[in-house]
A = this chain, B = another copy of it.
Amino acid sequence: MKKLTILLTLLVSINVLAQTDQDALKTIYSQSLTNGKAYQWLDYLSNQIGGRLSGSVNAEKAVQYTKSELEKLGLDKVWLQEVMVPKWERGAKEVAHFTSNYNKFDVNICALGGSVATANSGLEATVIEVKSFEELAALGDKVKGKIVFFNGAMNPELIHTFEAYGGCSKQRYAGAYEAGKLGAVGVIVRSLNLRQDDLPHTGSMGYMDLPNEQRVPSAAISTNDANKLSEALKKDANLKFYFKQNCKQFEDVLSYNVIGQITGSEFPEEIMVVGGHLDSWDLGDGSHDDGAGVVQSMDVIRLLKESGIKPKRTIRVVLFMNEENGLRGGKKYAEEAKRNNENHVFALESDSGGFSPRGFSFDCSEAALNKVLSWESLFKPYLIHYFEKGYSGADIGPLKNDTIVLAGLRPDSQRYFDHHHAANDTFDAVNKRELELGAATMTSLVYLFDKYGTSNIPQVKEFKD
Chain A residues within 8 Å of B, Cβ to Cβ: 29-30, 33-34, 156-157, 159, 161, 194-195, 356, 358, 381-383, 385-386, 412, 414-415, 418, 431-434, 437
Q: How far is the CA of A157 from the CA of B436 in the complex (A)?
A: 11
Task: Return 11 A-B CB contacts under 8 Å, by A number.
Answer: A33-B157, A156-B433, A159-B383, A194-B433, A356-B412, A356-B414, A383-B386, A385-B385, A414-B433, A414-B437, A415-B433
How far does the Cβ of A35 sit from chain B's closest Cβ, in whole Å? 10
Partner of A434, one of B33, B34, B414, B437: B414
How far does the Cβ of A159 sit from chain B's closest Cβ, in whole Å? 6
How far does the Cβ of A220 sit from chain B's closest Cβ, in whole Å? 21
Q: How far is the CA of A371 from the CA of B195 in the complex (A)?
A: 36
CB neighbours (8 Å) of A433 from chain B are 156, 161, 194, 414-415
Residue in A29, A383, A418, A434 whose Cβ sees the most chain B Cβ within 10 Å = A383
Q: How far is the CA of A161 from the CA of B34 in the complex (A)?
A: 14
Contact A33 B414 (CB under 8 A): no
CB neighbours (8 Å) of A412 from chain B are 356, 412
How far does the Cβ of A86 sit from chain B's closest Cβ, in whole Å? 34
How far does the Cβ of A165 sit from chain B's closest Cβ, in whole Å? 13
Partner of A383, one of B157, B195, B358: B358
Q: How far is the CA of A318 from the CA of B248 in the complex (A)?
A: 59
Contact A156 B33 (CB under 8 A): yes
Q: How far is the CA of A94 from the CA of B33 in the complex (A)?
A: 33
Nearest-neighbor residue (CB-CB) of A412 within chain B: B356
Contact B386 A415 (CB under 8 A): no
Known: A414-B433, A415-B434. 7 other contacts (CB 8 A): A29-B157, A356-B412, A358-B383, A383-B386, A415-B431, A415-B433, A418-B431
Shortest beta-carbon contacts, A-B, top 8: A385-B385, A414-B433, A30-B157, A33-B156, A356-B412, A414-B434, A415-B431, A356-B414
Partner of A157, one of B34, B159, B356, B434: B34
Partner of A381, one of B159, B161, B431, B434: B159
Q: How far is the CA of A29 from the CA of B160 in the complex (A)?
A: 13
How far does the Cβ of A129 sit from chain B's closest Cβ, in whole Å? 21
CB neighbours (8 Å) of A431 from chain B are 414-415, 418
Q: How far is the CA of A431 from the CA of B413 in the complex (A)?
A: 11
CB neighbours (8 Å) of A382 from chain B are 159
CB neighbours (8 Å) of A386 from chain B are 383, 385
Nearest-neighbor residue (CB-CB) of A432 within chain B: B195
How far does the Cβ of A372 sit from chain B's closest Cβ, in whole Å? 16
Q: How far is the CA of A157 from the CA of B437 in the complex (A)?
A: 10
Q: How far is the CA of A434 from the CA of B33 in the complex (A)?
A: 24
Q: How far is the CA of A358 from the CA of B437 in the complex (A)?
A: 16
Q: How far is the CA of A399 from the CA of B381 in the complex (A)?
A: 30
Q: How far is the CA of A423 from the CA of B378 in the complex (A)?
A: 38
CB neighbours (8 Å) of A159 from chain B are 29, 381-383, 437
